[in-house]
Amino acid sequence: MKQILIISGKGGTGKTVLTSSLAALAKAAVLADCDVDAADLHLLLHPVVKGTQEFWSGQKAVIDDGQCINCGRCLSLCRFEAIKALKNQDGSLKKIEIDPIACEECRVCYYTCPVGAIQMEDRLSGLLFISETKYGPMVHAKLGIAEENSGKLVALVKQKAQEIAQAEGKRWLIIDGPPGIGCPVIASLSGVDLVLVVTEPTLSGIYDMERVIDLAAHFGVLTKVFINKCDINWDNTRTIEEICQKRGIEVIGYLPFSEEVVQSLILGMPVVEYSKGMIAEEIITLWKKIEAIFQKEGKS
Amino acid sequence: MMISIASGKGGTGKTTVAVNLALSIPERGVQFLDCDVEEPNASIFLKPRIEETVSVSIPVPRIDQEKCDFCGECAKICAYHALAVLPKKVLVFPHLCHGCGGCSLLCPQGAITEQDREIGRVEIGHSNGIEFIQGKLNVGEAMPTPLIRVIKEKARRRGRWTNPASVTVIDAPPGTSCSVIEAIKGSDFCILVTEPTPFGLNDLILAVEVLKKLQVSFGVVINRSSMGDYRVDSYCQENHIPILLRIPFDREIATLYSQGIPIVQEKKEYIEDFRQMMDYIQELLPT
Ligand code: SF4
Ligand code: SF4
């Protein structure tokens, strides 16, 4: 089984549009949406949920007001500004309170409260779905608002998807990656065979692409670049080619800006299935190139 | 006043709105904070002169092997698995450490001290009369929140923050995670930028959940408004969410964006649109 991760650094470059089309072309694939903060792949692949799993992660600190003696020790030790002292109108201390959003789950207050008034409580921070689509099984998730540990949920999504791919003898695992270069992206990179960086010829697109390429290089993963909306600024498209050449990274494909893409989004389908023209052809060519990379590898 | 610009997902035009708003209200005395520290892009458009760079670090443990008796307490209490204790050695994984200080506080032998590890930088400067502050997370680092905290702390120390007439514009990271919350927290108003597609709607709904949780008032800017469907409009109408501005799709705007040129610099007619948006926001705010 080969794992292909599609990322972009910057949002809105067409990562999910491309992922959905590769999903439609791959056959014998398992699909994973690792953008657990703002998953969108389901809007194009229409998964039917077969199983739901709760994602319990982390433990937030909770104070038992009955036991707290207002000593303020936790307040001074919490480094994440999660513990606050509520004052009465006359300025005297009313009670000590924990802001669950700010709590980083470090447990320092729990270990140091002199009267044991703080407990760490488990939290349901998200849901994981195992679904069926017309293109194959799909694993996706929804992280609760302001929940941490998106990295852990990404790792779990990938692990489930890998298990399914192995059990069903699928040849591909196609992963829609999270945006940015932080924890969830790092989690999505592990064990991947190919990273496809989708970029656009804008200065922000280039800048973010370089950061994401650095990250992939940091983890030593084979990386290829795909330039979407390449005709928006040809000079920048050339710049991307030069940057890639310098780093020894292949630009594996291009797409021009196209209204067809927006139309396919509105209809909720992969653009390869909507477009009858050049857009679809380019994506088919891209997929053939990806297949060829691993065929070569298989023979050697 | 503090206005943050956010979106459920990146690439909707968040930075475009933030930058052009900041440039359209020069008389207000604007402070611009780029809190999208994983992908800080506003400087591409504002081209600030950076005058000061501050390294941001978190304290990570250092073990005094002489004092350590390998009791294993630190590894037991560390919530992030950043320490592992072997029979004759303690391993520290600084990249996993959140800097809570628990281990140094609780080590029975007092064998743990802390040393700083850089996770990113905050840069402070000026651009066209705008006070500019941005954070850049080092590649490979996983924790944006401490950096955002430092950006806001630096901004707070400057006069404009407390001047009610001036405006602090915050370019927040995309998504719904804790870093978004950290960036938006304390705002008087939040502008959510979206586009009229099913993706845009899906991501807008998530962003609205965040703002409801934070109890910050908000409105929506529809970007590329001429290209898409009406679902975002209907959603806003049904939920009584004000639509502050529509920016039509225009190849010229797309090209300007690709070159790192703010819309209002080349297409002056947009200045009035952004100024009207600012007035509208002011009307929406409780006085
Ligand atoms: S667990 Fe840590 S972050 Fe949370 S409230 Fe306690 S000390 Fe603060
Ligand atoms: S350390 Fe314990 S007793 Fe002291 S203020 Fe905190 S919760 Fe209350």
Domain positions in chain A: 2-56+126-299, 65-116
Task: Give how far Cα A201 sits from Cα of A38, A50, A181, A233, Å.
Answer: 24, 40, 19, 6
Whether ligand 1 lies within 6 angstroms of the CB of A207 is answered as no
* Equal fold, A2-56+126-299 vs A65-116: no
- Per-position DSSP letters for A190-247, written without gaps between them: TT-SEEEEEE-SSHHHHHHHHHHHHHHHHTT--EEEEESSGGG-HHHHHHHHHHHHHH
Do B195 and B16 meet the contact criterion of CB atoms below 8 Å apart? no
Average pLDDT over chain A reads 92
> Residue A299: what pLDDT?
47
**Closest residue of A to B250, CA-based?**
A232
Hey, which residues does A137 pair with through a beta bridge?
A132
The CATH number fitting domain A2-56+126-299, selected from 3.40.50.300, 3.40.50.720, 1.10.600.10, 3.40.190.10: 3.40.50.300
* Residues in chain A, overall count: 300
Question: Cα separation of A15 and A198, whole Å?
Answer: 6
Domains of chain B: 2-56+121-284 (3.40.50.300), 65-110 (3.30.70.20)
In this prediction the ipTM stands at 0.83
Ligand 1 binding pocket includes A78 (Cβ within 6 Å) = yes
Q: pLDDT category, A298, cuts 50, 70, 90?
A: low
Whether A217 contacts A210, CB under 8 Å: no
| Cβ <8 Å between A180 and B38 | yes
**How high is the pLDDT of residue A297?**
63
B91 and chain A: CB distance < 8 Å anywhere?
no
Under 8 Å between Cβ of B205 and B211: no
pLDDT per residue over A196-233, tens digit each?
A: 999 999 988 998 899 899 989 988 999 999 999 999 99
pLDDT in tens, A62-78: 999 999 999 999 999 99
Instruction: For tokens 């004000």, name the residue.
Output: B242
CA–CA separation, B234 and A114 (whole Å)? 54
Q: Which of B11, B213, B254 sits opposite A232 (nearest CB)?
A: B254
Q: Measuring CA to CA, which residue among A197, A227, A194 is closest to residue A213?
A: A197
pLDDT tens digits, one per residue of A27-75: 889 999 999 888 899 999 999 999 999 999 878 999 999 999 999 999 9
Question: What values do phi and psi take at B98, rounded to 5?
Answer: -100, -5
Residue A91: the pLDDT is 84
From chain A, the residues in CB contact with B197 under 8 A are 262, 265-266
Q: Provide Rg for chain B, Cα atoms.
A: 22
Closest approach of chain B CAs to the CA of A299, in angstroms? 34
Q: Is the CB of A62 under 6 A from ligand 1?
A: no
Q: What is the pLDDT, as a whole number, of residue A146?
A: 75
pLDDT of residue B92: 94
> What's the pLDDT tens digit per position in A68-127?
999 999 999 999 989 999 998 888 888 999 998 889 899 999 999 999 999 999 888 899
**What's the confidence (pLDDT) of residue A179?**
83
pLDDT at position A300 over 50: no
Residues at CB less than 6 angstroms from ligand 2: A 63, 68-74, 96, 113, 115, 117-118
Say which CATH class A65-116 falls into: alpha beta
Divide the 287 residues of chain B into consecutive groups of 10 and give the mean pLDDT of each group. Answer: 91 93 94 93 95 96 94 94 92 91 96 96 94 92 89 86 84 88 93 94 92 93 90 95 94 91 95 96 87
Q: At what angle do helices B231-238 and B198-214 cross, to 10 degrees?
A: 30
User: How many Cα neighbours within 13 Å face the side chain of A186?
Assistant: 17
Q: What is the least distance, in Å, from the CA of A62 to any CA of chain B? A: 16
Q: How many CA atoms lie within 13 A of B272 on its CB side?
A: 3
CA of B116 to the centre of ligand 2 (A): 28
Instruction: Tell me the average pLDDT across A168-195.
Output: 91
